[in-house]
Amino acid sequence: MADTLKLVSAGKSMRESQLEQLLAQHHTCKQDIVDVDEPVLKLVIFSLADYYFALPGTAIKEVLQRSSILLARGTDMHSGLRVDSLLDVVDIAVSQIQPAPDALPEYLQPYVSGLLEFNALAVAVLDIDTLFAAWQKGQG
């Protein structure tokens, strides 16, 4: 019985010391606090030439993997969009999307609704309706 008590006692102190170590590590590590109630936006991130773009997941109805085509739907139109490569489909906290800067090239400004950093890449979030409207106007 005494041996059992020693084992239980030793196991308890081992768990307590492990807990103390974990708490000490937690206090020394700086970690961002994540708000689980923060709104998120699903984004489809892709590349075109040397640029990185994203479209809201609600605008993308299907991804054709073999041909790198995104089947997109806007308010007034739907079409396939050819991309060089699909990087990822992610949920991004809305607070991580920054307004488009004034320094953005003029030809992109009407189409970019925001910017975000993804895997150390600057990614422009595009407005699908503005893109489709410009395409329709050019085809008019």
**Cβ atoms of residues 114 and 55 within 8 Å:** no
Q: Indicate the burial class of 63 (C-beta count within 10 angstroms; 0-12, 13-18, 19 or more).
A: middle
Angle 104-98-127 from CA coordinates, rounded to 5°: 65
Q: Which of 137, 135, 119, 7 is nearest to 82 (CA)?
A: 135
Nearest alpha-carbon partner for 124 in 60, 68, 55? 55
User: What predicted TM-score, i.e. pTM, was given to this entire model?
Assistant: 0.70
Q: What is the pLDDT of residues 17-58, one digit of tens each?
A: 666 766 666 556 555 555 567 899 999 999 999 999 999 999
For 61-101, what is each residue's pLDDT tens digit? 999 877 789 999 999 899 999 999 999 999 999 999 999 88
